[in-house]
Amino acid sequence: MEQDKVITIVGLGVVGGSYAIALSKKGYTVYGVNRSSESLDMALECGAIKKGAHTPEEFFAESDIIIIALYPDQIVEYLKKYGKFIKQGCLVSDVAGIKSRFVDDINAVMPKGSEFIFCHPMAGREKRGFRYADDRVLQGANFLIAKTETTTDEAIARMSRLVKDIGFGEVRVTDAATHDKVIAYTSQLPHAIAVSLINSDDEDSETASFIGDSYRDLTRIANINEDLWSELFLGNKENLISTITSFEEQLSLVKNAIEQDDRQTLKRLFVKSTQRRIGLEKKKQTEK
Amino acid sequence: MEQDKVITIVGLGVVGGSYAIALSKKGYTVYGVNRSSESLDMALECGAIKKGAHTPEEFFAESDIIIIALYPDQIVEYLKKYGKFIKQGCLVSDVAGIKSRFVDDINAVMPKGSEFIFCHPMAGREKRGFRYADDRVLQGANFLIAKTETTTDEAIARMSRLVKDIGFGEVRVTDAATHDKVIAYTSQLPHAIAVSLINSDDEDSETASFIGDSYRDLTRIANINEDLWSELFLGNKENLISTITSFEEQLSLVKNAIEQDDRQTLKRLFVKSTQRRIGLEKKKQTEK
């Protein structure tokens, strides 16, 4: 297996930009494609990319790996338009937060002789745009690969090597359906909760003087990209509805226990949540 | 107004211990009272307290300020038992997360010539015990004073001076009813949410490989002291039920929008939450 050397990043937003910075630091030849000149200029100036352009024809012809860091809905159209410029043996990937919805469409438009591998880096920031790109957010982060019928072991090995090289932590291979089901719980539900928590504030109250770290932590991701996240939510509808319902049931248990002055049930729920949270930390430490 | 010099902390847990460390660093004479010898020994060893004891008689007779960092339910009994040792002019305080429930009972048992001021430091850690005490958690934290009919301006001034001196940020004076209403939203609701989020995990799923910072942030406080928090929840029942209900209504808006593929409503909710979260950060920065 030859070493992949030339990488093109399509979309120099916060995620694509963070990849570009990390890859360049590791000595890869990184090309950047972006609609706006502003992000290209910034990325060139800080050395995150070697060359930049508004369209990818020239870069695709040279690249060993292409990472399309666009919104999920845009990937198929992009491949339809520019897929023919991808060179033989190229590995193409994404960074999208949902998978099942796009697997067949994307595989259908991929040119012969190259392969698409569905990837989800579990790293990001609540801010948008290249100016907030930062390779530190990738360090130690979980990396998910959603394997499909067409995914080869070689593609998994190449992508794993690349992302381990730039600092990702655990690389976990799963399938698209499992990915979407678990991500509805671990990523989309927390965003739905954060939004609902801050939106349930009484307009008249001066909340800011009354908050501690817990409220800050739970609302950080209420600062949310409405275009991207409405797409992610609606593109994973059944899973997300199901996970919101499970959460509502658990919250009802807490609420009912309070209403009935049922201290024992409350304590039992708290002991359970504490054990689970400690288990999560232990799992994390074991990995390190 | 003379400078308060001698401070007794009753209860060297994570909050009381953090106070003791911060006060000693600032040159106050700090005495510690604790049931277990282990915490007293640790506090003595690291210089957080000058002297320690299992009961407060001797320390109370000397102290300008007493901070009772026990569970809310224990304060009245403690004052009944040891109030008679408090010296004239002493200011006595608490660190409890709820207020209305205790105001009358506490004021009723306070000895003449000393005053109780109801305080709530918005700082803490999910861990318990002196070994996790850390004065850094107090730095810049919000500090709430719940004023009652008997609270004097002098007491507010003395307590404000003390807590500003050890690094707290904004000191906000409110009344007990407002305190409990807003705290139900900014502190207790986030804990109810964190517990319910982690408890709604599918037992079979290997969640740990699929999480990013958002899930970690939203579940940190699911590691919760079940004795303390069942007391706080049940002691602020009506407010907490009401705030859970408002949150449930907001989450229903999100859920219904997903069910109906209503992208515009989702975006509107996300824009609102984003604006509110940015507003919160701005407020915080203005204070600094």
**Tens of pLDDT along A223-266?**
999 999 999 999 999 999 999 999 999 999 999 999 999 999 99
Asked if the Cβ–Cβ distance from A222 to B197 is below 8 Å, we say: no
Closest to B28 in 3D by CA, of B1, B60, B50: B50
**Closest-CA residue of chain A to B260:** A234
- How confident is residue A30, by pLDDT bands cut at 50, 70 and 90? very high
Are residues A197 and B193, on separate chains, in Cβ contact within 8 Å? yes
Interface check B37 vs A, CB under 8 A? no
Indicate the residue of A193, A226, A267 with minimum beta-carbon distance to B271.
A226
Smallest CA–CA separation between B118 and chain A, in Å?
15
Contacting B residues, span 239-278, partner chain A, CB-CB under 8 Å: 240-241, 243-251, 253-255, 258-259, 261, 263, 266-267, 269-274, 276-278
Average pLDDT, whole number, for chain B? 93
Within 10 angstroms of residue B288's Cβ, the number of other Cβ atoms is 6
Q: Which residue of A has its CA nearest to B228?
A: A267
Is A251 in contact with B244 (CB distance < 8 Å)? yes
pLDDT band at A284 (very low <50, low <70, confident <90, very high): low
Complex confidence, ipTM: 0.90
Q: Give the pLDDT score at B285.
A: 59
Distance of CA B110 to the CA centre of its chain: 22
Kind and range of the H or E element at A143? strand A143-147
Number of Cβ pairs < 8 A linking chain A and chain B: 293
pLDDT at B288: 44
Instruction: Report whether pLDDT(B213) > 70.
Output: yes
Q: Say whether pLDDT at B141 is over 80.
A: yes
pTM above 0.80, yes or no: yes
Cβ B141–A212 below 8 Å, yes or no?
Answer: yes
Chain B residue numbers with beta carbons less than 8 Å from the beta carbon of A243 are 200
How far is Cα B105 from Cα B114, in angstroms, rounded to an integer? 15
Cα–Cα nearest to B12, from B113, B100, B107, B95: B95
pLDDT in tens, A156-194: 999 999 999 999 999 999 999 999 999 999 999 999 999
**Per-residue pLDDT tens for B217-254?**
999 999 999 999 999 999 999 999 999 999 999 999 99
pLDDT tens digits for A34-46? 999 999 999 999 9
Whole-number average pLDDT of chain A: 93
Q: Which residue in chain B is spatially nearest to A276 when comparing CA positions? A: B198
∠ Cα B142 B143 B146 (to 5°): 135
Portion 124-163 of B in contact with A at CB < 8 A: 124, 126, 141-142, 144
Q: Do B224 and A276 touch (CB under 8 A)?
A: no
Q: pLDDT-derived band of residue A24, with 50, 70 and 90 as boundaries?
A: very high
pLDDT score at A124? 72
Show residues of chain A in contact with B216, CB under 8 Å.
280
- Alpha-carbon radius of gyration of chain B: 21
Nearest to B122 among A198, A211, A271 (CB): A211
Q: Does A228 touch chain B (CB under 8 A)?
A: no
pLDDT of A288 reads 44
DSSP letters for chain B: -PPP-EEEEE--SHHHHHHHHHHHHTT-EEEEE-SSHHHHHHHHHTTS-SEEESS-HHHHHH-SEEEE-S-GGGHHHHHHHHGGGPPTT-EEEE--S--HHHHHHHHHHSPTT-EEEEEEES---SS-SGGG--GGGGTT--EEEEE-TT--HHHHHHHHHHHHHTT---EEEEEHHHHHHHHIIIIIHHHHHHHHHHHTS-TTS-GGGG--HHHHHHHGGGS--HHHHHHHHHTTHHHHHHHHHHHHHHHHHHHHHHHTT-HHHHHHHHHHHHHHHHHHHHHHHHH-
> A218 and B213 in contact by Cβ < 8 A?
no
pLDDT at B52: 97
Q: Does A233 touch chain B (CB under 8 A)?
A: yes
